[in-house]
Amino acid sequence: MNEHIRFQANRSFSIFGIDLLVGLEDFNGQIVATGKPIEFNSYVAGRRVEAPTLSLKDGEAQLLMDELWKVGIRPSSGQGSVGQLAATERHLSDMRTIVFDKLKIPQKENP
């Protein structure tokens, strides 16, 4: 297969959500096919699902995550990104400098 999946996420104000466009892109960056809306089939409890709705390579899944991030979708688990953690650590360091150095508050010695 000479194509890979490409995602484009756009804010949809009509549904207060996200429109997700899926296409196949060739190695020249040209879209050669577009996805159709997902069709759902009825499900009988206990029956084995025969095939996944969509299979993605790791890189394709990352592209999907990146597209969703661009339109403001974040993980619901409360975990921040590495960049957010680094910014928080720098902020805490600045606050320690203000409290202990600038305000001359003595620090407890570590045993």
Q: Where are the domains of the chain?
A: 3-40+55-102
Q: Band of the pLDDT at 104, cuts 50, 70, 90? A: confident
Q: Quick one: pLDDT at residue 111? A: 56
Q: Is the pTM of this model over 0.75?
A: no
pLDDT beyond 70 at 110: no
pLDDT digits (tens, 9 = 90+) for 45-94: 999 988 899 999 999 999 999 999 999 988 887 665 666 777 788 888 88
Q: Quick one: pLDDT at residue 81? A: 65
DSSP string, 21-69: EEEEEETTS-EEEEPPPP------TTPPP-S-S----HHHHHHHHHHHH
Q: Quick one: pLDDT at residue 83? A: 67
